[in-house]
């Protein structure tokens, strides 16, 4: 590959949800009846615009789009994982994902999420840039374009952010972390007790939780860096 070529990595789930909700419209049929509708043409146009924006933001010449598999290895660790996502899905979501697959070659790998696939791609080659809003990508050693800023996340940065995330938990994904540890408390703990998994385990013990709870939270928080990371465990790092 030519050294000036860059590939932007896009979370297809993220842009599909965002597009599908944005394109919904209310339609009033009569004095009593209102329904929601969407347009496939509008969905295609909105998705194309986001792809163009991602390439422009990152100055990339190529794209790769990831989607989430229907199966997920994290559910074996915590059956309640993402179980709090009870809101309805937007109209056109399935169409958006099909369009991303047919038009842009979006990929999904069985058993893992779009985030994981992006992490694996980004860690494999440094000429790739993840373009996403999700703060979870701060736990991946990668080039990340987030909130109008291009960042280089080092391995040390990513590991620190992962330990922080493990302690704090993630209410969006429905895992709780160490009881009583918010982001500021967790950061202070790591600063005081050392940035290590031993320190994280001490925080869980202090909160009255078990080694197993610490390990499960870490596994849930960690975006994969290789496919083999499904078997990763923090206490071996």
What pLDDT score was predicted for residue 1? 40
What pLDDT score was predicted for residue 179? 96
* 3-state class (DSSP) for residue 132: coil
Give dist(CA 52, CA 165) in Å, integer. Answer: 32
Reported as a single tens digit per residue, the pLDDT across 74-123 is 999 999 998 887 778 999 999 999 999 999 999 999 999 999 999 999 99
Give domain 7-153's CATH superfamily. Answer: 5'-nuclease (3.40.50.1010)
Same CATH fold assignment for domains 7-153 and 156-236: no
Q: Which ranges in the chain belong to alpha helices (H)?
A: 12-22, 40-58, 74-77, 93-104, 114-124, 155-168, 183-193, 197-206, 211-221
Is residue 162 within 8 A of residue 139, CB to CB? The reply is: yes
Q: Low-confidence residues of the chain, pLDDT below 50?
A: 1-2
What pLDDT score was predicted for residue 85? 77
What pLDDT score was predicted for residue 19? 97
**Tokens 């390439």 sit at which residue?**
55
What pLDDT score was predicted for residue 87? 78
What pLDDT score was predicted for residue 237? 61
Instruction: Give the residue extent of every domain in the chain.
Output: 7-153, 156-236
- Strand-pairing partners, residue 27, are 35
Topology given in CATH for the domain delimited by 156-236: DNA polymerase; domain 1 (1.10.150)
């Amino acid at each position: 590959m030519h050294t000036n070529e860059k590939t932007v990595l896009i979370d297809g789930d993220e842009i599909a949800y965002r597009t599908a909700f944005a394109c919904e419209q209310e339609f009033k049929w009569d004095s009593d009846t209102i329904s929601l509708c969407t347009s496939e043409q509008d969905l295609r146009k909105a998705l194309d615009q986001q792809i163009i924006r991602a390439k422009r933001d990152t100055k990339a010449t190529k794209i790769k789009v990831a989607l989430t598999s229907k199966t997920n290895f994290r559910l074996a660790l915590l059956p309640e994982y993402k179980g709090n996502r009870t809101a309805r899905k937007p109209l056109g979501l399935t169409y958006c994902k099909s369009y991303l697959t047919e038009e842009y070659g979006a990929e999904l790998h069985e058993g893992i999420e779009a985030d994981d696939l992006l992490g694996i791609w980004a860690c494999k080659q440094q000429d790739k840039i993840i373009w996403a809003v999700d703060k979870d990508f701060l736990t991946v050693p990668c080039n990340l374009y987030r909130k109008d800023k291009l960042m280089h996340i080092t391995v040390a940065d990513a590991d620190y952010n992962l330990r922080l995330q493990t302690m704090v938990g993630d209410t969006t994904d429905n895992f709780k972390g160490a009881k009583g540890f918010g982001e500021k408390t967790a950061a202070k703990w790591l600063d005081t007790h050392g940035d290590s998994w031993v320190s994280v385990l001490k925080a869980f013990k202090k909160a009255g939780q078990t080694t197993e709870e610490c390990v499960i939270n870490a596994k849930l928080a960690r975006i994969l860096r290789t496919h083999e990371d499904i078997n990763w465990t923090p206490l071996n790092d």
